[in-house]
Structure 1
């Protein structure tokens, strides 16, 4: 088993207020952070487009 630390990449971007509010509501409903929800949504989208992103 490896003790390698996986470093997360930080992104700064803007979205419209309606999307931000919807993300916050959905994240709250799933008991997760907005960042975690964005990660999941982007991963699902990229997988649907055929990208191998190495996540389960």
Structure 2
């Protein structure tokens, strides 16, 4: 989503979450666009209380 506020019910600290996968392969073109400014404003670099847990 364009805004972290639209991430209702999900953990905004995990913008890409993969669990229990073996042998993952990602290929092809394209861009993962995190719509930076809204998300970076909440990053753990700016808010030390939001350090990733994993």
- TM-score w.r.t. structure 2 length? 0.24
Q: Which is bigger in relative contact order (C-alpha 8 A, separation at least 6)?
A: 2
The alignment's TM-score, normalised by the length of structure 1, stands at: 0.24
